[in-house]
Structure 1
Amino acid sequence: MADSERIRPPWWLKPMNKIFMAVMRLGIPFAGAESPMVLTVPGRKSGKPRSTPVTPFTVDGQRYVVGGFPGADWVLNARAADAATLTQGRRREQVRMVELSPDDARPLLRAFPTLVPTGVSFMKNAGLVTDGKPEEFEALAGRCAVFRFDPLTENGVQTP
C-alpha cells in the first residue's frame, strides 16, 4: 500500500467506536459479534494512549487483526508502537503487534470473511470489496494491514 493511500472512514465511525468501547467496558455482550476487543496503542505523535475496537481472529493458534481502512490512524500508531494492550471486559493483555508481509497476509485475508463475518459488511461499506468473497479479501494484501498479536511477559520480553 502506498503511504499516501487513505480511505476516509464515515463520519459516524469514531463516535460509534466510543459508544461501542463504553458498552464493552460494562461487559455487555454483543449478539453475533466475534469476540470484539479494545486495542490501545500509544499515539505515534502524542504518545497518548489511543483506543479502537477490533475483532481479532485465530488461525493455527495465532491471533490476527485486519486494518479495515488503508492508512487508518490505529494502523499507523500500531506500526510505530513497541507494544499494545488488548482489553476485553476486565481482562487486559500486553502484546507485540507484528505486521505481516502481503504474501503472508493473503491466506489470512482469504479466511477473514468466514472467520469475521461482521467484518464483511464493514469492508463492503468502506468500498474495499463488493461481494465479500474470499478472493476479494485476498486481493487486499498490501492495501489493508494484517497484524499478528504476540504475547508479552511483564518485562516486555516475548513469551515462548
Structure 2
Amino acid sequence: MTRRAVLSDANGAHGPAGARYLAPGWFTARVFNPAVARLTRWGLPLAGSRELAVRGRSTGEWRTTPVNPLVVGGVRYLVAPRGHTQWVRNLRVAGAGELRLGRRAEAFTAVELADAEKLPVLREYLRRWAWEVGAFFDGVGAGATDEELLAAAPKHPVFRLEPLR
C-alpha cells in the first residue's frame, strides 16, 4: 500500500506550516471509503462510523466523508488520522457540520483543540481504532508516552463537537 504525503507550502496553503496530509490509496478512496459511506447512509455503521457533512469552503456545497467519532468523558470528538485533509480545512472555515447515520443528521459546531489538549483524545482514539488508523501515526500507539503523543499531535487535528440544540 502506497501512501502519498502532501506537505504544505511556505504559505501554509495545505494547512499550518509543515502540516501533513496522507492521501488515501486507490483501494481506500475507490472501494473502502465509498462502501463505508454507503453502509452508514443506509443506517448500518461500521465500527461506529458516521458520515461527516461539511459545507465546502469555496463552493458552499455539502461535502461528505466517512469518519469515526469518538466519545471521551461524555464529549464527542473527531480526529483526522490522515492529517490536514479537505474535511479538516472545510470544518475550520465552516465551524459547523452534521454527523449523519441513515436518515438522522446531528448538527454540531466544532472547536479545534490545541495540541496540549489532544493527549487523552489521541490516546483513546488509538486504543479504539489503531487497527484501522495506526499506520498514519508513525509507530505511535495508545501506550505511547505523553511526549510521543505531543510530538504526533500537530499532525492530527482534533475537533470537539458541540451539539446544536
Aligned to 1:8: 23
How many angstroms apart in 1 are the aligned matches of 2:81 and 2:69? 12
- One-letter code of the match for 2:25? P
**Counterpart contact for 2:116–2:150, Cα < 8 Å:** no
| Paired residue type of 2:43 | G
Q: 1:93 to 1:133 in 2, by over 3 A?
A: closer
Higher RCO (CA < 8 A, seq sep 6+) = 1
The structure-2 alpha-carbon separation of the partners of 1:74 and 1:149, relative to structure 1 and needing over 3 Å to count, comes to same
Identity of aligned residues (%): 34
Structure 2 Cα separation of the partners of residues 113 and 72 of structure 1: 19
Using structure 2 for the length normalisation, give the TM-score: 0.78
1:102-149 CA distances to partner (integer Å, 9 max, x unpaired)?
Answer: 0111221122222x2xx31333333x2326343255542111001110
Report how many aligned residue pairs link the two structures: 146
From the two aligned structures, give the one with the greater strand fraction: 2
Alignment correspondent of 1:123: 133
TM-score, with length taken from structure 1: 0.80
CA contact (8 A) 1:36 1:56 kept: yes
For 2:74 and 2:45, the matched residues in 1 are separated by: 24
In the alignment, the residues of structure 2 paired with residue 101 and residue 73 of structure 1 have an alpha-carbon distance, to the nearest angstrom, of: 19
Structure 2: 5+ residue runs without aligned partners? Answer: 1-15
8 Å contact 1:99–1:148 — kept in the other structure?
yes
SS in 2 for 1:7: strand
1:19 to 11, 20, 35: 35
Runs of 4+ in 1 over 3 A off after TM superposition: 136-139
Structure 1 residues 3 and 93: CA distance shift in structure 2, 3 A: farther
The equivalent residue for 1:75 is 88
Q: Give the superposition deviation at 1:151.
A: 0.8
Q: SS in structure 2 opposite 1:141?
A: helix
Select the residue among 68, 77, 100 that pairs with 1:64.
77
Partner of 1:156: none
Q: Do 1:42 and 1:48's aligned partners in 2 also have CA atoms closer than 8 Å?
A: yes
8 Å CA contact retained: 2:126, 2:134 = no
Structure 1 runs not aligned, ≥5 long? 154-160
C-alpha deviations, 1:53-112, integer Å up to 9, x for none?
Answer: 111111111101110112211111111113201111222111001100001112211222
Secondary structure at 2:26's aligned position in 1?
A: coil
Q: Secondary structure at the match of 1:134?
A: coil
